[in-house]
C-alpha cells in the first residue's frame, strides 16, 4: 500500500496515491504503516492545497512515527503546512524540530532552507546564520525553491512577540557597491510651480515603478538649463493640459545620470495607470524614449543607486520594484510601451546588480519571482495558490474611498 502510494505520488497521481495511503491508515495495521499512511495523505493534501487537512494528517503521522526514521519527515511537511497557513512561528518551531530528526541530506537541506527564509523574512539574522550553512549543496530543487522564497517575503507578517531586529547584512566583499547617497536636484532648482490642490498623501510606500518619459522624438536635453526648461514644460503640460496636481513622476533621471525631483514624494503620483496602482507607489522616469534609443550607462548607474536609497528608506523589496508594463499587468491593465524595448530588459539586470552589490538588507535583496533565469517555476506548484492568496490580501487592491481628486479620473500615459 505504502509502496504503491509512493509510486503513484511520484507519478503525480495524488488522488490515486491518497487512496492507497488511506488504506494504510486502517487501525488493523501496525503503527509504522499507519503513520506512513498518514504521512502520505498529508503530502497529498499539501499538493491539493488543503493545508489544514494536511496538518491534521501530518500530526497523526508524527505521533505514530515517533521513534522511527520517518518522524522528521512528518514534522518537515507539517512545517510546510504551517507556512501555507501563514503561521510563521509554528512553521519555525516545527521545522527546527524536524531538522534535528531528519536523516536524509536533501530533506535536511530543505528544512534548513525554509528556516533560513523564514528567519530572513522575520529579519532574524541569528536564525539565518544558524541554518544557512546547511542549505549549501542543494541542487536544482533549491533553485526551484527560490521561486517560492521570492514570493513569500513581502507577505510574512510578524506575530506579536516575535523578534524583528532589522540587521543589514554586511556587503559581500568583491562586489561593486552602489553609491550610498544620490544628490537630487530639488524642485526649487528648476523653479517648479506649486503643486496644485487635489493630490493625495503618499502614505506607506509599497512599490516603485520605473518608466521612460517616452516623448515621440527622444528629447535632446543635456544641460542643466535645458533640463530646467524641460521640467517646467512637463509640469505645465501635466497641470494645464492633463489637469493633474503636478508632474506624474517623483524622480527623473537625465542622460547624464543626474536626478531631478518631480512631484514631491510626500504625495501620490500619477504614473502607473490609475489611482489604485498609484497608491503608495513611487514613480521614477528615465528621460528618453527607449523604444528608439538605449538609456545611457550613467542613467542606469544612477537608477541603481536611487533604487538602493529608496528601497532601504521605505523597506521596498526587489520584487516590488516594477517596470511600468509589469505594474500595469499586475493591476489588470493593458500593456504599454513604457519603459521601452531597449530599457525594459535591463531593469531585471539592474535589480540583480543591486542585490549582488550587497547594499541591501537581506530582507529586501530578494530575487524577482518573474525572473525565470534565477527562479525557475516548478517545485512550488503546491505553494502557488496560497502565495497568490496572500498577495491578493496584501492591501494593494483595495479601492481607496478617500480618492476624490484630479487623478481619480485622470490616467497617466
Site for Zn ion, rule CB under 5 A: 211, 324, 338, 413
Q: What is the smallest separation between the CB atom of 252 and Zn ion, expressed in angstroms?
A: 12
Beta carbons within 8 Å of 225's beta carbon, 6+ residues apart: none
Q: How far apart are CA 367 and CA 67, in angstroms?
A: 39
Q: What is the DSSP string of 211-279?
A: EE---SSPP---SHHHHHHHHHHHHHIIIIIS--SS-S-SEEE-TTS-EEE-S-TTB--S-SSSHHHHT
Longest Cα–Cα distance in the chain = 87
Residues 61, 76 contacting (CB under 8 angstroms) = no
Q: Exposure pattern of 101-131 as b/e (b: 16+ CB <10 Å)?
A: bbeeeebbbbbbbbbbbbbbbbbbbebbebb
Give the residue with the Cβ less far from Zn ion, 239 or 281. Answer: 281
Give the residue with the Cβ less far from Zn ion, 347 or 364. Answer: 347
Coil, strand or helix: which one is 203? coil
Residue with cell 490642490: 197
**How large is the angle between the packed helices 88-101 and 71-84, nearest 10 degrees?**
160
User: Hey, how many other C-beta atoms are within 10 angstroms of the C-beta on 339?
Assistant: 28
Q: What is the smallest separation between the CB atom of 413 and Zn ion, expressed in angstroms?
A: 5
Give the residue with the Cβ less far from Zn ion, 324 or 353. Answer: 324
Give the residue with the Cβ less far from Zn ion, 338 or 354. Answer: 338
Q: What is the smallest separation between the CB atom of 213 and Zn ion, expressed in angstroms?
A: 8
User: Hey, how many other C-beta atoms are within 10 angstroms of the C-beta on 92?
Assistant: 21
Give the residue with the Cβ less far from Zn ion, 16 or 337. Answer: 337
Q: What is the smallest separation between the CB atom of 285 and Zn ion, expressed in angstroms?
A: 7
Residues 1, 37 contacting (CB under 8 angstroms) = yes
Q: What is the smallest separation between the CB atom of 37 and Zn ion, expressed in angstroms?
A: 55
Give the residue with the Cβ less far from Zn ion, 224 or 291. Answer: 291
Residues 368, 374 contacting (CB under 8 angstroms) = yes
Residue with cell 492633463: 242
Q: What is the smallest separation between the CB atom of 336 and Zn ion, expressed in angstroms?
A: 6
Give the residue with the Cβ less far from Zn ion, 211 or 267. Answer: 211
Q: What is the smallest separation between the CB atom of 324 and Zn ion, expressed in angstroms?
A: 3
Give the residue with the Cβ less far from Zn ion, 211 or 279. Answer: 211
292 vs 39, 180, 219, 337, 412, CA distance in Å?
58, 31, 11, 11, 21
12 vs 7, 241, 398, CA distance in Å?
9, 58, 37
Give the residue with the Cβ less far from Zn ion, 199 or 338. Answer: 338
Q: What is the smallest separation between the CB atom of 269 and Zn ion, expressed in angstroms?
A: 11
Q: How far apart are CA 342 and CA 258, in angstroms?
A: 20
Q: What is the smallest separation between the CB atom of 310 and Zn ion, expressed in angstroms?
A: 17
Beta carbons within 8 Å of 228's beta carbon, 6+ residues apart: 189, 190, 191
Give the residue with the Cβ less far from Zn ion, 132 or 413. Answer: 413
Q: What is the smallest separation between the CB atom of 278 and Zn ion, expressed in angstroms?
A: 12
Residue with cell 487501525: 27
Amino acid at each position: 500500500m505504502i509502496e504503491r502510494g509512493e509510486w503513484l505520488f511520484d507519478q503525480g497521481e495524488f488522488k490515486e496515491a491518497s487512496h492507497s495511503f488511506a488504506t494504510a491508515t486502517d487501525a488493523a495495521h501496525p503503527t509504522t504503516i499507519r503513520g506512513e499512511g498518514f504521512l502520505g495523505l498529508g503530502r497529498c493534501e499539501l499538493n491539493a492545497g488543503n493545508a489544514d487537512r494536511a496538518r491534521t494528517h501530518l500530526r497523526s503521522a508524527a505521533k505514530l512515527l515517533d521513534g522511527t526514521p520517518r518522524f522528521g519527515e512528518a514534522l518537515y511537511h507539517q512545517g510546510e503546512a504551517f507556512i501555507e497557513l501563514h503561521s510563521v512561528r509554528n512553521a519555525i518551531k516545527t521545522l527546527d524540530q524536524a531538522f534535528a530528526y531528519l536523516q536524509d541530506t536533501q530533506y535536511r537541506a530543505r528544512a534548513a532552507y525554509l528556516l533560513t527564509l523564514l528567519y530572513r523574512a522575520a529579519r532574524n539574522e541569528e536564525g539565518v546564520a544558524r541554518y544557512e550553512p546547511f542549505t549549501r549543496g542543494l541542487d536544482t530543487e533549491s533553485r526551484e525553491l527560490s521561486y517560492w522564497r521570492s514570493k513569500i517575503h513581502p507577505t510574512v507578517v510578524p506575530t506579536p512577540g516575535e523578534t524583528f531586529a532589522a540587521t543589514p547584512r554586511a556587503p559581500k566583499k568583491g562586489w561593486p557597491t552602489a553609491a550610498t547617497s544620490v544628490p537630487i536636484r530639488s524642485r526649487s532648482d528648476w523653479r517648479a510651480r506649486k503643486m496644485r490642490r487635489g493630490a493625495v498623501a503618499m502614505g506607506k510606500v509599497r512599490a516603485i515603478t520605473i518608466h521612460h518619459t517616452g516623448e515621440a522624438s527622444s528629447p535632446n536635453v543635456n544641460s542643466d538649463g535645458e533640463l530646467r526648461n524641460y521640467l517646467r514644460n512637463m509640469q505645465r503640460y501635466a497641470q494645464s493640459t492633463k489637469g493633474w496636481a503636478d508632474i506624474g513622476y517623483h524622480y527623473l533621471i537625465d542622460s547624464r545620470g543626474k536626478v531631478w525631483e518631480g512631484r514631491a514624494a510626500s504625495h501620490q503620483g500619477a504614473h502607473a495607470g490609475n489611482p489604485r496602482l498609484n497608491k503608495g507607489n513611487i514613480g521614477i522616469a528615465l528621460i528618453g524614449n527607449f523604444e528608439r534609443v538605449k538609456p545611457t550607462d550613467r542613467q542606469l548607474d544612477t537608477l541603481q543607486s536611487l533604487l538602493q536609497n529608496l528601497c532601504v528608506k521605505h523597506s521596498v523589496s526587489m520584487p516590488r520594484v516594477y517596470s511600468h508594463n509589469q505594474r500595469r499587468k499586475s493591476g489588470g491593465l493593458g500593456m504599454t510601451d513604457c519603459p521601452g524595448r531597449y530599457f525594459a530588459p535591463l531593469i531585471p539586470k539592474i535589480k540583480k546588480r543591486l542585490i549582488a552589490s550587497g547594499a541591501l538588507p537581506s530582507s529586501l535583496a530578494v530575487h524577482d519571482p518573474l525572473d525565470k533565469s534565477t527562479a525557475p517555476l516548478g517545485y512550488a506548484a503546491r505553494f502557488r495558490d496560497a502565495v497568490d492568496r496572500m498577495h491578493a490580501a496584501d492591501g494593494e487592491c483595495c479601492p481607496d474611498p478617500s480618492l476624490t481628486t484630479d487623478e481619480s479620473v485622470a490616467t497617466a500615459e
